[in-house]
Amino acid sequence: MSAIKNTLARKAVKATAKHSARGTASKLKRDPLRAATLLGLGGLVGGVAGWLAGRSAAETTSVSTGS
């Protein structure tokens, strides 16, 4: 049964990726400046969030041993 589940999951991921790609391409065709701005802002916000998450994770793992 797990092989069937894996196949269905793979198909769902593939369909979702295609749908997202088509939607992004459609937005870029309709209003390229707005779409590019929103995609850029989303990437920037995601990058900052990832940087902050990585930074906070690194701070919690590094433990200073007092003298």
Yes or no: say if 26 and 19 are a contact pair by the CB < 8 Å rule.
Answer: no
Q: Can you give the residue ranges of every domain in the chain?
A: 2-54
CB-CB neighbours of 30 under 10 Å: 9
Alpha-carbon gap, residue 7 to 12, rounded angstroms: 9
Q: What is the pLDDT of residues 47-62, one digit of tens each?
A: 999 999 998 877 776 6
- pTM score above 0.85: no
Work out the average pLDDT over 4-28: 91
Alpha-carbon gap, residue 11 to 5, rounded angstroms: 10
